[in-house]
Amino acid sequence: MTIGKKLKDLRKKKGINENREISQYEVADKLGIQRGRYNSWENDIAKPRTGMINKLADFFEVNPNYLLGYEEHSIPEWATEEDKRDFKKMLESGEPVLFDGVPIEGEARQRVIDVLTGMFWESKKNKKD
């Protein structure tokens, strides 16, 4: 699931909790940004930067890792706190994913991140063994 889909779902769920639909305007106002910027995130036109990921997570009361597509259950049992910190840093780097100088976006980007996730944990395990 893309970050935009997650944001949209979270906004709608937050509205259910408050017995009304929360608008993009309200979310943007709480974050101190323009609605157009927030709209571009929900529609996967742009991606929020790391600092804004944390603000979004606070607003929606979720772990920032959820927004980044990093699920807690994917952490190997043997991973140390340092390993987890390294992994989080890798995911939050905000660097564009490129192929031959062209940005990879949307679902293709998420697939690349999923592969990198597997490679990251495999490499860490190999170093420990």
pLDDT of amino acid 17: 65
**Do residues 49 and 62 share a domain?**
yes
pLDDT of amino acid 41: 96
The domain containing residue 59 runs over which residues?
3-67
Sign, CA dihedral 46-97-8-18, equals negative
Arithmetic mean of pLDDT over the chain:
81
Q: How far is CA 74 from the centre of its chain?
A: 15
Higher-confidence position of 124 and 6: 6
Return the H-helix or E-strand segment holding 111: helix 106-128
CATH of the domain at 58: 1.10.260.40
Q: What percent of the chain has pLDDT over 70?
A: 89
What's the pLDDT tens digit per position in 43-93? 999 999 888 988 998 898 887 878 887 665 466 777 788 877 777 776 666
Domain limit, last residue, from 45, 67, 89: 67
Q: Is the pTM of this model over 0.85?
A: no
Contacts (Cβ under 8 Å, ≥6 apart) of 5: 44
Domain limit, last residue, from 67, 88, 114: 67
